[in-house]
Structure 1
């Protein structure tokens, strides 16, 4: 990394700027910065004379000791009264803003050979002075070493997380390419007419386009390289405005505070200001520029005005929590009572490969909000004479390369929010909170040790509830399901409807406003010998309409564990448009041909939704057990309807007589034997009976003691030996956790009898399987009064 020698002049043992590049410090005019107390009123003209006359301090004695010194305002606006106007606006926008008197900052100019440190010490002793310090000399920017866009494949920071910030994903949404947004970059120099920048028409607000042209070009290339057929493409290539401010001033001075102030004067609420700078002060090298009091105060003014400021953390490798100013205050330590918050987003640097580890040169600590790539960044470059317009690099590095990545994310987020119907922009506090939230970014390799925050993930922000821009189509697992992960029923979807005859107007019959939105009894039993028809009801809780939603349905025998090897494809339908607003939208009929229906009876259904911006899983995904258990609870594109409606009057030839048989399967996992538990929950009336019919082998496995029932057949209809276990008719019957063999198919029957005098009522019971205490499948039966088949 670059460092400075004992005279404050930069050296670079690792990499040098391009040949011919103007070296840092050329023409530099050293000054002492003094801030008087706020009550001290000094006009910009004749300030030195009034200092003495107004008893502000012994200026005469000072000039006698340090001959040739002069006093001038440090900060200025061309328009009279602009300080006051901006301060008043900042107070109205940010009630927490406590304005400092920027007119109280002055610069003491001195001839060569003056002892600047002694001069600052003498001024600090004045009663009227808050602080005096030697203005930091020029410190090079924080560099470590020097689609159809042919280089875009190398720009891994554009890629999905955890590698990059998911910029390509943001481009699919209005504003995600930076449209309508404005950027100001502060540093030393740029190649404005670079082939990948020229179309932006970049202008200079103030200061000089001085040197280190490759650096500014690299920064702007990361953020905004034009989406053309050459070179790179920026994170936000369609910015409305790019302007720059230079730290080198026409009068030979070098300043960080004044260019920030010049930028503030022409920026609007929500614009983004990038500070590509670092400094040496108070004995610390290559630390954030806001360590300088004047710089801190103008940054605080900027953020209070609603300007989003992104600040490089610096390449000194300093633990900022340990930094103290001359007053002994830990100004960068968020846990310290002396912490000073400028409101800027401070950015550290980490490795380009995931997991991203903090690079040793990066400053770090609790003050750092975000990180970006600090190495191997592919972007624009230039030469020392600022004449080459087609140069590129693969090795742009440091917090110099990290800060533009976070800046691009901020501009994309600002564009996304402004493109919403309300058209709002985020203020600096909202932007910093959003970008630094671990829920919206990629953590570093070791967050506790790295202490560089997170790298923003634009997809997490876009898909999260703050923006919720993509469609979010879902099928309910149960009535009342809102699409969130839940612990409720997982096999009681009201949104897969089986009918024995086609419905002329499915939307009118089953959709929003139909009155049947939550009806679980719309259709449940297949009729053999004819075509049957399945309808799927879809909701969209996302921020945009879903186009061409594929609804695919599979059928399976009733089972407490519906692994995909039990599924048989029934068919699919496409919903051309599912609007936002969580409105129930119904598919056209999926025909279940008569030849494909195995037999009359009840079946389980699995429904999967998929659309371009909200893709659903494929059946193969469920063969992985971890995926299976995750999809059950957390993927709202998938649902199970394992909910059967059964007449509570036993069929004439019931076996055994008087009992309703409810057959189902208990199943093993598809990959290997896993310990699971069977549980049956019944909510039947007094006088009801419930019995579980199972094989002797399974009864022995679950350590259940069979009972000899009056009707007990020793073999079932298939000729297999069976035994019977009484079930709690109004409560829970738990069986021990045992190892279910892989791919096991264990036939079971519940035998239920409802007293005749209560058969005009409805009752419910279910059987379920649990894995590690979580439900992984269930079959539910609702026993209803006799009704004609639908």
Structure 2
């Protein structure tokens, strides 16, 4: 409802291990090729996961079951944490560098199938920085396993946010200082981050400012999908069985659904499938993707509203509007956030009815009247879209006219009626045809149904006793109305054009006036075409 809230003008980068960028529901460029570009690293592993994440934000499915991404008009990129730099030094003790020398199968953009790879979120961030601008979103969709002290397990190896790695944290700070919005998964370790002690770093996520080091990233936790039947039900931390659940703690800023998220991809059995989808993507991965989508929507709306973007703590503070989940931050109330930042949404006009009668082949209800085909005298040719015949019934001539009535609007038309008039042109003025006001005879019009759905059509007809000669010329007028879209009264239009009061009206001027409304279809017909 807010202009720009589809993410137009905003860029985002998904940072993780792999993607099926050729998935048929991801954006394509003008040449029909995948529009989402890999900025750095190797498209190596867990492609089903990356595809699901990008789909939450950027999918264009045209499918009601999964829907489009939250910010389908945003420009997406990806950057891999797997780097082909075997000569790099790595510090496994600090947890940011891990060598990998197994065969890398199905690399989309790697230099060789057996290249040793290094896992580095910092490298992925630095590759993303030049392709983005202040206000753009960097989404970190990875977590790390680190040995740390925890009350439940003194020497636990637990899943933690990637910023526990000093180099990654410093790189995140560099990106935040450059105006990027960094959104980071809190991790699925089911751990209270406040109680985690890291050797050499202390209580990195604790409440005590003497220890705590804030990277500037928005840290995202996961909640169970809310009970739609009870909007006031408590927000519960998402859990997925033994020792699996969303990390929690005072450092976490915001939260979102961590289960039952519909998106493309998500099928580990077919990680690079082009037509895969799931209805139960989850974890802090899903939650962070949803929050990233919300941030992109907000930035797009801000750009459209006043040309500005939110950076740094301004974005973090903006999204902290909504219900609070204990230890998981706030569930952003995006409509409230958008209203606070850019004002209420523009008033949307109610769906309208737009009836129109087919006047000539190719008529679309919008084309000007003078686009209708004409003969050498400038008179409209008998249109194939309007069938007019004259026969005999009860010893008198009987005219039967049929055409098609369309509804171009977004709402159903009700109480549909059709008025029809038929009369001769004045034979005394062949060079400047005139129609006599009192010569137009009403016919009995018959719409076949009293309603027309949006985009629908029905046949309409008119029938009545007439007098037609082969040498005469005649005017047929059809006017369709509904309760929502009434047609102007053709007889009133004729009367208004009778400027000198003699009862005669020039046909050319009358046709122009009648066809100012697409509810009306008027035609000059030669008697020779009828009898």
TM-score, length of structure 1 as denominator length = 0.36
Q: Is the 8 A contact 2:255 2:329 kept in 1?
A: yes
Q: Does 1:371 align with 2:255?
A: yes
What SS is found at the alignment partner of 2:337?
A: helix
How far apart are the structure 1 equivalents of 2:190 and 2:236? 14
Number of the residue aligned with 1:467: 342
What residue in structure 1 maps to residue 41 of structure 2? 207
CA RMSD of aligned residues (A): 2.0
For 2:66, what is the secondary structure of its paired residue? coil
Q: 1:261 Cα deviation (Å)?
A: 1.3
1:177 equivalent in alignment to 2:21: no
Q: How does 1:252-271 map to 2 (within 5 A)?
A: 252-271=117-136
Aligned residues of 1:185 and 1:243 also touching (Cα < 8 A):
yes
| Preserved contact between residue 174 and residue 416 of structure 1 (Cα < 8 Å) | yes
Partner Cα separation in structure 1 for residue 310 and residue 292 of structure 2:
14
User: Is the 1:196–1:231 contact (alpha carbons within 8 Å) kept by the matching residues of 2?
Assistant: no
CA deviation profile, 1:268-291 (whole Å, cap 9, x unmatched): 111100000000224241110000
The secondary structure found in structure 2 opposite 1:405 is: helix
Match of 1:397 among 282, 290, 297: 282
Q: Given that residues 60 and 69 in structure 2 are in contact (C-alpha distance below 8 angstroms), is that contact kept between their aligned partners in structure 1?
A: no
Secondary structure at 1:265's aligned position in 2?
A: helix
* Distance across 2 between alignment mates of 1:198 and 1:269: 23
Q: Greater relative contact order: 1 or 2 (C-alpha under 8 angstroms, separation 6 or more)?
A: 2
- Name the larger-Rg structure: 1
Is the 1:221–1:233 contact (alpha carbons within 8 Å) kept by the matching residues of 2?
no
Residue 221 of structure 1: aligned partner? 55
Q: 1:364 to 1:387 in 2, by over 3 A?
A: closer
Aligned position for 1:643: none
SS at match of 2:298: helix
Verify: 1:442 aligned to 2:315, yes or no: no
Q: 1:235 to 1:333 in 2, by over 3 A?
A: farther
**Is the counterpart of residue 412 in structure 1 residue 297 in structure 2?**
yes
- Mapped pair 1:351 → 2:224: yes
- Deviation of 1:429 (Å): 1.3
Contact 1:212–1:384, Cα closer than 8 Å, also in 2 = no
Q: Secondary structure at the match of 1:393?
A: strand
| Pairwise CA distance, 1:337 | 1.5
Partner of 1:596: none
Residues 228 and 368 of structure 1: CA distance in aligned 2, closer, same or farther (over 3 Å): same
Q: Answer whether contact 1:225 1:232 (CA < 8 A) is retained.
A: no
Q: Distance in 2 between matches of 1:364 and 1:383?
A: 27
Counterpart-to-counterpart distance in 2, 1:246 and 1:196:
21
Aligned to 2:418: none
Tell me the secondary structure at the aligned position of residue 403 of structure 1.
helix
TM-score, length of structure 2 as denominator length: 0.53
2:192 maps to 1:319? yes
2: CA distance, partners of 1:253 / 1:238: 32
Q: Which blocks of at least 5 consecutive residues in structure 2 are unaligned?
A: 29-33, 85-115, 149-156, 228-232, 240-244, 351-531
Are the counterparts in 2 of residues 182 and 239 from structure 1 also a CA contact under 8 Å? no
1:545 Cα deviation after fit = 6.8
Separation of aligned partners in 2, 1:213 and 1:328: 33
Q: Is the 8 A contact 2:48 2:270 kept in 1?
A: no
1:272 corresponds to 2:137 = yes
Aligned to 1:504: none
Q: CA offsets per residue over residues 36-68 of structure 1, 9 Å max, x none?
A: xxxxxxxxxxxxxxxxxxxxxxxxxxxxxxxxx
Partners of 1:253 and 1:407 in 2: CA distance? 26
Q: Against the structure 1 CA distance between its residues 231 and 224, is the aligned structure 2 distance closer, same or farther, given a 3 Å change threshold?
A: farther
Match of 2:206 in 1: 333
* Secondary structure, counterpart of 1:402 in structure 2: helix
Change (3 A) 1:226 1:545: closer
Deviation at 1:547, TM superposition (A): 6.8
Give 2:72's aligned residue.
Answer: 238
Q: Give the Cα separation in 2 of the matches to 1:256 and 1:290.
A: 9
* Conserved? CA contact 1:213–1:384, under 8 Å: no
Q: Offset of 1:229 from its aligned partner?
A: 4.3
Question: Deviation of residue 240 (structure 1)?
Answer: 3.6
C-alpha separation in 2, matches of 1:407 and 1:175: 15
CA shift for structure 1 position 384: 5.2
Cα gap change, 1:174/1:245 in structure 2, threshold over 3 Å: closer, same or farther? same
Q: Flag the 1:547–1:392 CA change in 2: closer, same or farther, 3 A.
A: closer
Distance in 1 (CA, whole Å) between partners of 2:236 and 2:196 is: 23
1:247 aligns with 2:81: yes
From 132, 140, 146, give the equivalent of 1:281.
146
Over 3 Å counting, the alpha-carbon distance change for 1:317 and 1:461 in structure 2 is same
The answer to whether the 8 A contact 2:222-2:257 is kept is yes
Shift of 1:228: 2.4
| Cα distance in 2 for residues equivalent to 1:328 and 1:305 | 25
Which residue does 2:480 correspond to in 1?
none
Query: Offset of 1:227 from its aligned partner?
Result: 5.1
CA deviations over 1:622-648 (Å, ceiling 9, x no partner): xxxxxxxxxxxxxxxxxxxxxxxxxxx
Q: Is the 8 A contact 1:226 1:237 kept in 2?
A: no
Give, in angstroms, the shift of residue 226 of structure 1. Answer: 0.8
Deviation for aligned residue 1:230: 7.0
Contact 2:48–2:272 (CA under 8 A) maintained in structure 1:
no
| 3-state SS of 1:379 partner | strand
Alignment of 1:267-666 (within 5 A): 267-283=132-148, 284-327=157-200, 329-354=202-227, 355=233, 356-360=235-239, 361-381=245-265, 382=267, 386-420=271-305, 422-436=306-320, 440-444=321-325, 447=326, 451-464=327-340, 466-470=341-345, 544=346
